[in-house]
A and B are shown apart, each in its own frame.
Chain A
Amino acid sequence: MEMTNVSVDGRTKPAGPLLSVRDLGKRYGTRIGCANVSFDLWPGEVLGIVGESGSGKSTLLSCLAGHLEPDRGQVVFDTRNGPRDTITMSEPERRKLGRTDWAFVHQNPRDGLRMGVTAGGNVGERLMAVGARHYGDIRAQALDWLGRVEIAAERIDDRPSAFSGGMQQRLQIARNLVTGPRLVFMDEPTGGLDVSVQARLLDLLRGLVREMGLSAIIVTHDLAVVRLLADRLMVMKGGHVVEQGLTDQVLDDPQHA
């Protein structure tokens, strides 16, 4: 993995992890959500989190993305103003991060889209949220992004409820990537889609991740998804990370029984 002198926004940044997680823990009463999770995510890297159902994958992702408050630990993100612990930062700052440098792709597109708002409005929302006030520009960017996720331009004024499941998921991805985030959280992005649609979505995601140099954390229980997308893999069981390493290595030579 290339780690030196990664260029973001045309400036050269010293090599350092984009996200640095230390000793993250979350309990639900006496039950463990996740515990002792530590890892570094480097710029441009895609990390897969796999594990059986109930192993704490989604809890971990929610804690990382700021949707859940962890009980302990640090999630240090390399913001545009230097590394900051996103757990102790103020809520306005965290929400701002959530609509600029971060993106979150939900498993169910209905959670991530506004179903009563047209496709163009859905893609444009994040632009307007960061201050875009020129209709023509917003629409042009929305059209560009619909094209990049292979949604026909004439569907721009249709509502997501008129879209198929695969199109909704692609629309959600466009909506999230339009502001050029640096880190994307994905919770089972291909769940609930049929196999051929999954394959197409994965191709698309892989293209976008490579092209934009995105870093991503993908939670899934589908090993084919991580084999295609992830550089590195983390295996969880009972809230603990039981194994991590390069994807091929972990998949081909698993150490944990």
Chain B
Amino acid sequence: MTDQAYNFAYLDEQTKRMIRRAILKGIAVPGYQVPFASREMPMPYGWGTGGVQVTAACLVPEDCLKVIDQGADDTTNAVSIRKFFQRTAGVAVTEATADASVIQTRHRIPELPLREGQILVYQVPIPEPLRFLEPRETETRKMHSLEEYGLMHVKLYEDIARHGQIATSYAYPVKVEGRYVMDPSPIPKFDNPKLSGSAALQLFGAGREQRIYAVPPYTSVVSLDFEDHPFVAGKAPHDCDLCGATDSYLDEVIVDDAGGRMFVCSDTDFCRGRKDAGHIGRLGVQTDGGA
């Protein structure tokens, strides 16, 4: 039941209009960071205030919302944001990727391929990919507008010079539709290929930095690299210890103080789905469906 003290989805209608205009502009110019008047939200910066505002602007009463934090549906951040929208918008919620119409995510793209009609909302801490190389905002804006992206490769060069390979493993810079270089938020580079040609609409919200950007469905997104050091979407060289998946992104979990560890899918919904379907990993236990 919606708490009547709040407007639908917390934000007032004029604010939502303002955010929707920014979103539309972002969709019209894929990868371009659109400034917007970010509001104070009832949660601290860094907890996904940008994503929450984008989600609030997108939600309609018929929506079914899924919120994930590092792939998991049941961590603090995911639970509190899901509850927030249950209370202020009264929308249905789910943990199943396939059932959701809006998915707010922190730092992962679900393993299950998204479909048309779905919206994936990313929480972005620092939207400017050039920030740590060029601290002046006036200059980075000019570099974006004039397509001067040589500096981005300096970062990758530095990686190879220091580590022998491109060591950037998350927030890996991409070029959208051959034009804007974009920070895909701190998703692991394993997820980068999923950005490209996705059927779903991908929206990025940075609350503290007051920027919104977007990757419309079926947009080409290319990870930057060198000819002799091509992009590699890396993951831990293991299978999931619970569901046995060989192709999912894994979290490493320390299980004792004697060097014991296990690897589990970071996408909890994907992992549960496989377990329910009878797959079982090295340390998994047999479930009898829907446990």
Which residues of A are in contact with B by a Cβ distance under 8 Å?
Answer: 91-92, 95, 99, 114, 116-118, 120-121, 124-131, 133-136, 138-139, 156-157
Contacts and interface: CB of A to CB of B under 8 A. Distances in A.
A92 B146 contact: yes
Given A114-B154, A134-B228, A120 B146 contact: no
A114 B155 CA distance: 12
A99 B154 CA distance: 15
B160 interface: yes
A91 B146 contact: yes
Question: Interface majority SS on A: helix, strand, loop or mixed?
Answer: helix
Contacts of B227: 133-135
Question: Interface majority SS on B: helix, strand, loop or mixed?
Answer: helix
B221 to A, nearest CB: 18
Contacts, number: 55
CB-CB nearest 10 A-B residue pairs: A129-B150, A128-B150, A128-B153, A135-B226, A134-B227, A92-B146, A121-B154, A125-B154, A121-B158, A136-B228
B228 A95 contact: no
B36 to A, nearest CB: 27
Interface string B136-180: 000000000010101101100110111000000000000000000
A116 B162 CA distance: 13
Interface string B89-126: 00000000000000000000000000000000000000
Interface of B: 133, 146, 148, 150-151, 153-154, 157-158, 160-162, 226-229
B157 A120 contact: yes
B103 to A, nearest CB: 34
A91 B150 CA distance: 17
B229 A135 contact: yes
Nearest to B166: A135
Contacts of B153: 128, 133
Given A114-B133, A125-B151, A135 B157 contact: yes
17 contacts: A92-B146, A95-B148, A99-B150, A116-B133, A117-B154, A118-B158, A118-B162, A120-B161, A121-B154, A125-B150, A125-B151, A133-B226, A134-B226, A134-B228, A136-B228, A139-B161, A156-B161
A135 B148 CA distance: 18
A129 B143 CA distance: 11
B154 A128 contact: yes
B142 to A, nearest CB: 8
Nearest to A91: B146
B151 A157 contact: no
